[in-house]
Structure 1
Amino acid sequence: MTNIVILTGAGISAESGLGTFRDAHGLWAQHRIEDVATPEGFARNPQLVHDFYNARRDQAAKAQPNAAHYALAQLEKDHAGPVLIVTQNVDSLHEKAGSQNVIHMHGALDRALCAACDHRWVAPLVMSPNDPCPRCASPATRPDVVWFGEIPYQMEQIAEALSTADIFVSIGTSGEVYPAANFVAEADHFGAHTVELNLEPSAGASRFAECRFGPASDVVPAWVADTLKG
């Protein structure tokens, strides 16, 4: 039984209309990361941060999965062994496509977090700094996303999955953001076959045993078809 662990990044959602960090025309290009994606930025100007994530949440809610998302859902359904998706993305396109075994290591746009008591709940489409927490009533509502300087979610579960993976696949990631950039080394250490599927070589492409390059909607379904054929 082959155990597959898949890491996905912004590149898998780009063809669904969700810009990557480096998209010259995307939301990120209009803001400094220090202002909208750090705890310090939120402390300085919570309204700006909420406005930014409200826009991202609206954009993500309207987006639809592409062929790459659907292919991974099909892999989970038809593969004889376990398939785990670890995503750096905060959209819910994997779930919309039908994937069920998904870890959102950077949180999710459709979730809210109370900075006072750590309570989490389903986020409304529009959030503001004055929204009270449903549990403690503190006006400390923030997006349930992992900002720069914060620890990604479920790292112990991810480490355990990497240690037992037979195949590790990285899809649509830059290979520059840690700790995810080091997952290939961890999986390789435990003997996994490592694969990069990307539009172009990432910063860590040389660390993979196999690479396929092209649009995610092309290379991911092709790789899934080959994998299911055995």
Structure 2
Amino acid sequence: MIHTLAETGSTNADLAARLRASESVAEGDWLVADRQTAGKGRQGREWLDGAGNFMGSTVVHLRFGDPEPASLALLVGLAVHEAVTPLLNDGLSATLKWPNDLLIGRAKLAGILLERVNDSVIIGVGVNLAQAPEVPDRETVALQGVDRDAFAADLAREFAAELERWRNFGLAPIVQRWLAAAHPLGTPLTVGEPGEEGLIGAFAGLAEDGALLLRLADGRTRAIHAGEVRLTPDS
């Protein structure tokens, strides 16, 4: 079920408050806002909303035997990719960038934010359906002309299917499908916060646990489990 709000601070924060208050939040339900006044991305970065864009959150209640919770970012990315792909104009394609972005070319179309509350993971998704917010230090892009409510229904359906696969078949098939939707192997990447020198290497795939594999200039491969990943400017 999809619940909509005209305005809220953050759909992630709303669900977190309910979970901390021991309120029932059904897995599979989505909270979608017409406008967010305190939306955020990774590491607390402000993510400004835009009228007509998708801004919503859902929750996964972790069960015994589930794959590593951090790997939910991969299946959410796949769900967003599947929902977006039919909406792209001819000649355009969307690519996944680890750990939580969907790009068209070098521009960010969608972002994902995971937050843990006890034994639940809140998943926030923002997709630029109507307009591209101005974000410091990165390009953004919007689809335009996409109905928000129809997209929300499509995304909820795709996410439910991916979650079922994640639980029933484990992480390995998710990793393989994610790689097929990502930028090519060998893509130059920089790992580190903007303004930092960062660790420079080439995309070498994903580890079995979903970590990013970065091939360094000396031939070594390093597993990256967390961090800001950017396409290197000359890539």
Q: TM-score, normalised by structure 1?
A: 0.28
Comparing both structures, which one devotes a greater share of its residues to strand?
2
Comparing both structures, which one devotes a greater share of its residues to helix?
1
- Which structure has the higher relative contact order (CA within 8 Å, separation 6+)? 1
Q: TM-score, normalised by structure 2?
A: 0.28
